[in-house]
């Protein structure tokens, strides 16, 4: 793990509340899909948890930029992100995290909610770019259709390849798209959509309570413990 000064390049709105932030990729930074970084706005006080936070890479290591994505709030950290202007420099520590893609794995499953999609995007983009022969099943839950981040990318990868199946779940309001499921990710939904899910290596990213719930669900479905990989987002 090293520290780098990175130059802000651009931002992209993913949903009404979620934005991605891109920075020039510094020389010497190497990471693998689904790792994360610490973005440091307060360099004097490294223990300032309000301004120094951890974010997953939401871009493939093969890109010429690095990208992080966050659901913005009214916090100091979110305001700092909003205020970024082109050529502004920010300090990062990277790479961090051990819940990573093994290219030898043939069958992968994801149980993801909300902003937990960010490391998944890094992995999927890399799989597409490297043309790995990996079969992927993604269950992705959000409160509303409007809050489905990276929907365009996921739909395109699903249409252009045979390796990816995406099952969208909406929890708070009945979706207009009939292909989406209204409700929650549970045993019934998983076994209905993907009967072979228990035979996959399953990745779960997100806040601790969500990760614990999805891990318990994996066990209920029949996934052996050694095949369940988890990463709890820090700061929750």
CATH number at 135 reads 3.40.50.80
Please report, for residues 13, 53, 76, 94, 229, the alpha-carbon distance to residue 23 in angstroms, rounded to integers and kept in the order given. Answer: 15, 16, 20, 13, 28
The last residue of a domain, from among 69, 96, 123: 96
Angle between helices 117-130 and 151-160 (to 10 degrees): 30
Dist CA 81 CA 21 (whole Å): 8
Q: Are residues 134 and 37 in the same domain?
A: no
Statement: residue 101 has pLDDT above 90: no
Q: Are residues 115 and 71 in the same domain?
A: no
Statement: residue 220 has pLDDT above 70: yes
Task: Let me know if residue 101 belongs to a domain.
Answer: no
* β pairing state of 2-13 and 18-24: antiparallel
Q: What is the mean pLDDT of the chain?
A: 96
Task: Let me know if residue 210 belongs to a domain.
Answer: yes
Q: Are residues 116 and 196 in the same domain?
A: yes
Range of the domain at 209: 107-232
Contact, 116 vs 210, CB < 8 A? yes
Q: Are residues 36 and 60 in the same domain?
A: yes
* β pairing state of 107-113 and 89-96: unpaired
* β pairing state of 52-56 and 36-40: antiparallel
Dist CA 30 CA 1 (whole Å): 9
Q: Are residues 152 and 133 in the same domain?
A: yes
Task: Let me know if residue 204 belongs to a domain.
Answer: yes
Q: Are residues 59 and 124 in the same domain?
A: no
- pTM of the predicted model over 0.85: yes
pLDDT value of position 172? 95
pLDDT in tens, 118-170: 999 999 999 999 999 999 999 999 999 999 999 999 999 999 988 999 999 99
The last residue of a domain, from among 44, 63, 96: 96
CATH of the domain at 17: 2.40.30.10
Q: Are residues 135 and 219 in the same domain?
A: yes
Q: Are residues 118 and 68 in the same domain?
A: no
Structural domain count, the chain: 2
Among 1, 79, 86, residue whose Cα is nearest residue 41: 79
Contact, 169 vs 184, CB < 8 A? yes
The last residue of a domain, from among 73, 96, 119: 96
Other residues' Cβ atoms within 10 Å of the Cβ of residue 168: 19
Q: Within 13 A of 44's CA, how many CA atoms are on the CB side?
A: 0
Statement: residue 35 has pLDDT above 80: yes
Q: Which residue has the tokens 């290219």?
A: 103
Task: Let me know if residue 102 belongs to a domain.
Answer: no
Q: Are residues 85 and 154 in the same domain?
A: no
């Amino acid at each position: 793990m090293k520290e780098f000064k990175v130059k802000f390049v651009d931002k992209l709105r993913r949903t009404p509340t979620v934005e991605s932030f891109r920075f020039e990729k510094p020389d010497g930074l190497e990471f693998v899909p689904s790792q994360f970084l610490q973005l440091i706005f307060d360099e004097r006080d490294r223990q300032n948890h309000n301004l120094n936070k951890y974010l997953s890479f939401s871009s493939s290591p093969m890109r010429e930029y690095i990208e992080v994505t966050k659901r913005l709030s009214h916090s100091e950290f979110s305001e700092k992100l909003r205020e970024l202007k082109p050529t502004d420099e920010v300090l990062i520590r990277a790479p961090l995290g051990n819940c990573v893609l093994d290219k030898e794995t043939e069958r992968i499953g994801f149980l993801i909610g909300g902003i937990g999609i960010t490391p998944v995007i890094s992995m999927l983009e890399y799989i597409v770019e490297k043309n790995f022969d990996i079969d992927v099943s993604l269950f992705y839950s959000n409160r509303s259709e409007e809050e489905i981040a990276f929907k365009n990318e996921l739909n395109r990868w699903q249409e252009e390849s045979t390796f990816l199946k995406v099952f969208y779940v909406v929890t708070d309001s009945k979706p207009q798209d009939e292909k989406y499921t209204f409700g929650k990710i549970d045993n019934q939904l998983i076994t209905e959509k993907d009967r072979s899910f228990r035979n996959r290596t399953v990745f779960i990213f997100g806040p601790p309570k969500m990760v614990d719930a999805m891990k318990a669900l994996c066990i209920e479905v029949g996934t052996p413990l050694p095949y369940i990989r988890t990463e709890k987002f820090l700061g929750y």
